[in-house]
Each structure stands twice: as C-alpha cells, then as structure tokens.
Amino acid sequence: MSTTRTASLPDRSHHVPPGLAASRLEGNAALDGAVRSMIEQLRAAQAELVASRGPRKELAESYRGWLERNASVRGRASYYPYLGSGLGHGPLVELLDGSVKWDMIGGIGVHLFGHGDPDLCEVAIRAGLSDLVQQGNLQFNADSIEFAELLVEEARRCSRLSHCFVSNSGCMVNEAALKVCQQKTGAAPRIFAFAGCFMGRSTTMSQIGDAAGYRQGIPLNTLVDYLPFYDATLGARSIEMTRWHLEQAILRYPKQHSCLIVELVQGEGGFNTAPREFFLALFELARKHGIPVWDDEVQTFGRTERMFAFEALDLGEHIDVVTLGKMSQACACLYTADMNPGPGLLSGTFSAATSAFRVGRRILERMRDGGYYGPDGRIARLHASFRAGIEAIRGRHPEWFPPVQEAFGRTHDRFVGGVGGMMRFTPFGGSKDRIMRLMHVLFEEGVIAFYCGHDPYHVRFLPPVGVMTPEQFEPVMEIVERSLARVASE
Ligand SMILES: Cc1ncc(COP(=O)(O)O)c(C=O)c1O
C-alpha cells in the first residue's frame, strides 16, 4: 500500500542568477545525489508503516517517563498521551511507544500531506542549506516574495485582494487583520463576530473567540457584538434573524464597527456551514455601512472545494481582508489595495522559517495543480468516502446516533457534516461526556481525531487530504465502529 504520492512538478524553489556563489548549490549533482539518497533512506524506513498497530509492552515505562517529563515542563499533561517517534507515512504516524495510528487531525489542520511526505522532506532538506533559518521583515530572501506572490495570485482570480503580510501564527495574522480594519475605520472600537467563533490565543483574539473558558481571567477590553451563525433547521428565517441582529447593532452604534469577522465554515465552533445567501445578505449590509469584511480562513484554507472558501462560495468580491494559515505552514493576511495600511502598522522580527516558506509554497503548488478541487476533485471524493463510512455505521447501529441535542431543547438529525477536508460526525446526541470519552477510546484503538462544537459536541476529522485515498477510510472506519461500540457499552 502506498500512502504517499509525489507531484510531478519541477522544484522551482530558487532562481539564483548564474555566477553568484549561491549558484554553486543550484543544480549541483553531488548535492542532488546526496538528497536523493537521504530520501531513499526515508522511504525505506517508512515502508514498515502500512497499518495501525498497538503499543509495545517493553516501551511502556520509557513512554510514561516521557509523558511525565512533558507534564512537568509544561505544567500540565497534554490532551492525548501523544509523542511522535519522528517517523510517519502519509496518514500513519509512529509514536515512541511503538504504536502506529491513523492521524485524522494532522496537528489540527497543519499536515495536509500527512507525515513525512518525501517530496516535502526533500524541499525542507534543501531549505535547510539556506543561510537563514528564519526570514524576517527587514532581511529576507526570494522565498518570502515567491510565497506571498503565489497566495495573491490565487486570491486575485476571484477577489480584489492584492497584498500579503506574512507572520508565523494564525493568531498573529489575525492581529494584523484587526489592526488593518481598525486603521481603515478611524479606530472604530467595536467588532462584529459570530457566536461560536475561534480566532487564536492572544489577549484580544481570546476575547473575540466565543468560548468562556478561553478568556477566563483576562480583562475584557474588546467590544464584540455577536451574531447568530446560520441555523439549517430555520433556513431562510435564520438569514433574516442574523441580518436583523446586524442591522440593530449598526443602528445602536453607528460608525463604531471596525469589521465583520467571519469563518465561512466555522472551525472550532463545530464545522458549521451556511449557504451563500446567508453571507451575501450580511456582507451587502456591512458594505452599505462602510464596515470591512474580514474572512478568517485559518482553518478552512485549502480544505473546501476551492483553495479559498470564499471562492467555493463565490463571495470573493465582498472580502476586504482574509487571513489564512495551518496547511500553508507560514500564515498570511491578505488585503485589498484600498485596505493597505500606513507604514509602521505591520511588521515583526520573524516572517516565517525558510523551510515553512518553501514547503508551504510546494504544498500550494501541489494542491493547485493536483486535481484536488472542484465538485469531482480528490477532496470531494474523500469527503464522500467519509460520509459513506459513517452512514454505513449508522445503518448498522442507529442506536448510537440518537437526535443531536441543541440549545433550548431543540434537536436535529444532521449526524454527518462539514465540507471537503473538514469532516465531522455526531454520535451519542453530541453529549460532551461521551464525545470526550470517544476521543480517548479512538486514540487507544488507533485513530487520532479531535472534537469541535459545544453542546452539541462533534467528532472532528481534518485528514491529510493531500495524500489520503478514499479506500484508506476502510481501516479507519473499522476502528471508529469498534470505538463507538466500546463507548456505547460503557
Ligand atoms: C479560524 C481560526 N482562526 C485562527 C486560529 C489561530 O491560529 P493559530 O493557532 O495558528 O494561532 C485558528 C486555530 O485553530 C482557527 O481555527
């Protein structure tokens, strides 16, 4: 079974003019041979990892020791008893206890090509020979420009976005986006965001993010007006209601809002989707009142049926600022010429690591050219396989899928959800306790997933869509079924 594929794209990682000392490293046969043999060794080691397996008894004690060291140095244990060995093979990852697991969460969306993709490792090895580990806003190489240009090129096809600022976390580019919006609106103090949103962990983003636990002990100095996200049960009525909320707050606080922030598919909030008309109604109203629209694609980027979710929903024309990260390895804030801030607003010591720029660009090129997008693209086919797998389990065990419990005693029967490479399912009515228990049972049985949403809670998959095949959901679903049976019987 092969779990990795390399693209047949040329490695255009550098364009050094002939005659420079640096050109000795470009097209250098000895270097190429050395890199090739490193990658051969990697492939040979990976060949062993073809299916999940349990931990080795003899490694249990040393593994426990590592986990204790981690808990001690961090001050608390991590969510999973996870510690990678440093080797993986596409969707499979080896842990230091000798177990091999199907990784269906990929660092919460980062590892789009899974573990140890040979092509990406080759790009990273070559990047390791660069004079710079980290590039910055004062000193940088061509990598930095090429990465930003590729993003702008992709965004420009269907939006007005034309400039790009790079930084090294989703949260930091969100901070950049907020400042861009605030400066544009003359320091307007209020923000529109959606109930259930997540934006990162800075003091400001923790306040905007709609989870009480994430802002405990933080003084609240950011003024946020929350809007209800789309509710599929209410349909058109939901669009009217949210538009009404937006209008009310604009009337209450005229000219006080710096932005309307939106995740076109809510990530942490529960992989909630909404139709184009929902967003359109809000964006048109925001524009009428001079409120910039900021689309946070940190989690959606690369995973819907187009590279940008705004493209998949044909909303690019309405977007003033977009932020992205995770699978791109380096994070970015893109904005229109009209939103371009004054000098001094955006900078920072680091932009990103050279390897992040080069591997990120390679990922984007492979996704752009590899047949991933569109209604019959590889992402859509993988999503269909996921849904079929969950529906088959539900067919055999409807008792594990009672109605999903929502706020105020309402229920629904959307047991499978999400879009593209963002997949969720909701057993046990979305009960927090049982979903949390399921996370740990799945981990023990050999599948790494995570949860999303709050009441209802869902099981979240962000699988490595770059390398995973629809058939690989078969062994994954076997483990899911076994795990559901265990939790159901407890
Ligand atoms: C929508 C969204 N925005 C922002 C962030 C923050 O990104 P980071 O964790 O890289 O700071 C996340 C992270 O999960 C996210 O999902």
Question: Could you tell me if 348 and 438 lie in one domain?
Answer: no
What does DSSP say about strands 190-194 and 257-262: parallel, antiparallel, or unpaired? parallel
Give the pLDDT band of residue 1 (cuts 50, 70, 90). Answer: very low
Task: Determine the Cα–Cα distance for residues 397 and 393; give it in Å rounded to an integer.
Answer: 6
Q: Examine the pLDDT at 7 and tell me if it is beyond 50.
A: no
**Domain coverage including residue 251:** 134-369
User: How remote is the CA of residue 137 from the centroid of ligand 1, in Å?
Assistant: 22
Cβ of 296 below 6 Å from ligand 1: yes
Question: Could you tell me if 248 and 383 lie in one domain?
Answer: no
126 within some domain = no
Cβ–Cβ < 8 Å for 307, 373: yes
pLDDT, position 10: 43
Give the pLDDT band of residue 471 (cuts 50, 70, 90). Answer: very high
Q: Is 140 exposed, middle or buried (0-12, 13-18, 19+ CB in 10 A)?
A: middle
**Domain stops at, among 332, 350, 369:** 369
Distance of alpha carbon 257 from the chain centroid: 27
Question: Could you tell me if 181 and 84 lie in one domain?
Answer: no
Give the pLDDT band of residue 3 (cuts 50, 70, 90). Answer: very low
Report the nearest atom of ligand 1 relative to the CA of 172: 11
Domain count within the chain: 2
User: How remote is the CA of residue 261 from the centroid of ligand 1, in Å?
Assistant: 13
Q: Examine the pLDDT at 408 and tell me if it is beyond 90.
A: no
Give the pLDDT band of residue 12 (cuts 50, 70, 90). Answer: very low
pTM of the full structure: 0.96
Question: Could you tell me if 282 and 145 lie in one domain?
Answer: yes
Residue 288 tokens, joined: 């009428």
Cβ of 206 below 6 Å from ligand 1: no
115 within some domain = no
Cβ of 224 below 6 Å from ligand 1: no
Question: Could you tell me if 68 and 187 lie in one domain?
Answer: no
Task: Determine the Cα–Cα distance for residues 166 and 170; give it in Å rounded to an integer.
Answer: 10
Question: Could you tell me if 236 and 356 lie in one domain?
Answer: yes
Q: What is the mean pLDDT of the chain?
A: 96
How does pLDDT run across 65-111, given as a tens digit for each residue?
A: 999 999 999 999 999 999 999 999 999 999 999 999 999 999 999 99
Question: Could you tell me if 425 and 405 lie in one domain?
Answer: yes
The 10 Å CB-count burial string (b at 16+, else e) for 62-82 is: ebeeebeeeeeeeeeeeebbb
463 within some domain = yes
417 within some domain = yes
pLDDT, position 446: 98
Give the pLDDT band of residue 16 (cuts 50, 70, 90). Answer: confident
Cβ of 282 below 6 Å from ligand 1: no
CATH of the domain at 460: 3.90.1150.10
Of 313, 325, 308, 292, the residue nearest 174 (C-alpha): 325
Ligand 1 pocket: which of 79, 271, 304, 326 to mutate (most atoms <8 Å of CB)? 326
* Closest C-alpha to ligand 1, atom 4: 199
Question: Could you tell me if 334 and 223 lie in one domain?
Answer: yes
Give the 3-state secondary structure of residue 419: strand
User: How remote is the CA of residue 193 from the centroid of ligand 1, in Å?
Assistant: 15
How does pLDDT run across 330-349, given as a tens digit for each residue?
A: 999 999 999 999 999 999 99
Can you count the helices (H) and strands (E) in the chain?
14, 19
CATH of the domain at 183: 3.40.640.10
Question: Could you tell me if 99 and 164 lie in one domain?
Answer: no
Cβ of 271 below 6 Å from ligand 1: no
414 within some domain = yes
User: How remote is the CA of residue 215 from the centroid of ligand 1, in Å?
Assistant: 15
* Closest C-alpha to ligand 1, atom 16: 299
Report the nearest atom of ligand 1 relative to the CA of 267: 16
Question: Could you tell me if 275 and 392 lie in one domain?
Answer: no
pLDDT, position 138: 96
Cβ of 211 below 6 Å from ligand 1: no
Question: Could you tell me if 104 and 164 lie in one domain?
Answer: no
Question: Could you tell me if 356 and 259 lie in one domain?
Answer: yes
Of 147, 125, 119, the residue nearest 135 (C-alpha): 147
Give the pLDDT band of residue 186 (cuts 50, 70, 90). Answer: very high
Q: Examine the pLDDT at 328 and tell me if it is beyond 80.
A: yes
**Domain stops at, among 349, 369, 389:** 369
Cβ of 108 below 6 Å from ligand 1: yes
pLDDT, position 407: 81
Task: Determine the Cα–Cα distance for residues 203 and 385; give it in Å rounded to an integer.
Answer: 40
Higher pLDDT, 7 or 126: 126
Q: Examine the pLDDT at 353 and tell me if it is beyond 50.
A: yes
Instruction: Please name the residue ranges forming H helices in 221-377.
Output: 236-252, 276-288, 309-312, 354-369
How does pLDDT run across 98-148, given as a tens digit for each residue?
A: 999 999 999 999 999 999 999 999 999 999 999 999 999 999 999 999 999
**Domain stops at, among 369, 385, 406:** 369
pLDDT, position 2: 38
